[in-house]
Amino acid sequence: MSTNRFSKIVGSGSYLPSIEIKNSHFLNHDFFEPNGQKIETPNEEIIEKFREITGIEERKYATNEQQASDLAYLAAKDALDSSKIDKESIDYILVAHNYGDIKPNSTLTSQLPCLAAKVKNLLQIENPKCIAYDILFGCPGWVQLMIQANYYIKSGDANRVLVIGAETLSRVCDPHDRDSMIYSDGAGATILEACESEEETGILSHAMRTDTKDQAYFLRTDISDNADFEGNSNSHFIKMYGRKIYEYAITNVPGVVKESIDKAGLDIKDIKKILIHQANEKMDEAIGKRLFRLYKEREVPEDIMPIILQKMGNNSVATVPVLYDQIAKGTLNGHSLNPGDYVIFASVGAGMNINSFVYKV
């Protein structure tokens, strides 16, 4: 039997900052509507409704000494150390983010040099053939880079690719926007390696879509909802049309995930885990239900879609690799992966972009 070249995850790492911000942190905030009108609803009610919808109880913020590249480096180092892989054998370092490095008490971003170059520098990799670059693809950036890394490996251009998602969204949060309670900081990393196998393994298929005609600015940057906020002159905060994003996601993500499953020649009953972007617990549950309905299945298995955002928040490109790392290392109670399991990796976010790939452990 002839062998084929596949891409397998041979190492993973993650880093969540040490500062824990509980929902009570926002009790003294003054919240405003996007039209500039102050919200008079008691903050206790705002926060409780937020928790009921998103599931988030606390989130992690980077320390003043850390930037996104530092978090990316720590996740990458974890992946290299835990896998015992020689850093000089890495062919590509690919980093997904949205805002680059941001210093504390500022929303000004730095993307020169790119975060991947900074990570390579921090890792002290000498190999000049280790190519380092970033992409901006919204929250699905890490998933997109895994798809891209798979192309490199299947083509024979690379044998090992380090793929990282890192973000410090806490530094682009508008303190007067209720949505600021969603965002957090963190980083996740995986090492994808070429594997020769007679049977299909690793990344089997993928599907993607980008919608911009009416959806390009569902997530964007803008000034504070508080028109009198003193930081408005030089700030650009992350802003979103939450309801529109919710409707877009639950309408379109299930179809993209199904497309990736169908391309792999599988059925939803074959899937062991669905690792989806950790943005909103209710949204993820709705996506899961709609996905199973596409296969005429009424019930969603209880443990198929693990959720970790309760204590982590939404750290964008980092949510999926952090989730994978916790399962792979056995630190997420009740969840495990075994050889032969089929896993879905999927995300949705700014662009608007959706992507999904099927992976056989």
Residue 297 and residue 155 in one domain:
no
Residues 303 and 223 in one domain: yes
pTM: 0.93
pLDDT at 1: 57
pLDDT in the model for residue 186:
98
Total count of domains within the chain: 2
Residues 184 and 244 reside in one and the same domain = no
Residues 187 and 210 occupy one common structural domain? no
Q: What is the span of the domain harbouring residue 278? A: 202-360
**Across the strands, what pairs with 183?**
314
pLDDT at site 179 = 93
> Which residues in the chain come in under a pLDDT of 50?
none
> How large is the C-alpha radius of gyration of the chain?
20
Indicate if 189 and 316 belong to the same structural domain: no
248 and 275, same domain (yes or no): yes
Please name which of 165, 182, 143, 184 lies closest in space to residue 69, comparing C-alpha atoms: 165
Choose the final residue of a domain: 169, 197, 225: 197
Please check whether residues 151 and 272 belong to one and the same domain. Answer: no
What single-letter amino acid sits at 353? N
What pLDDT does 228 receive? 81
How many residues are there in the chain? 361
Q: Are residues 149 and 208 in the same domain?
A: no
**Dihedral, CA of residue 257, residue 278, residue 71 and residue 102, to nearest 10:** 100
Cis peptide before 34, with omega less than 30 degrees from 0?
no
Condensed to tens digits (0 to 9), the pLDDT of residues 249-267 reads: 999 999 999 999 999 999 9
- In our burial notation (b when 16+ CB lie closer than 10 A, e otherwise), range 175-208 reads ebbbbbbbbbbbbbbbbbbbbeeeeebbbbbbbb
248 and 337 share a domain? yes
pLDDT of residue 336: 93
Q: Are residues 193 and 206 in the same domain?
A: no
CATH number (domain holding residue 149): 3.40.47.10
Asked if residue 167 and residue 271 are part of one domain, the reply reads: no
Q: Which residues 6+ apart lie within 8 Å of 121 measured at CB?
A: none
Residues 271 and 317 in one domain: yes
Check residue 226 and give its pLDDT: 87
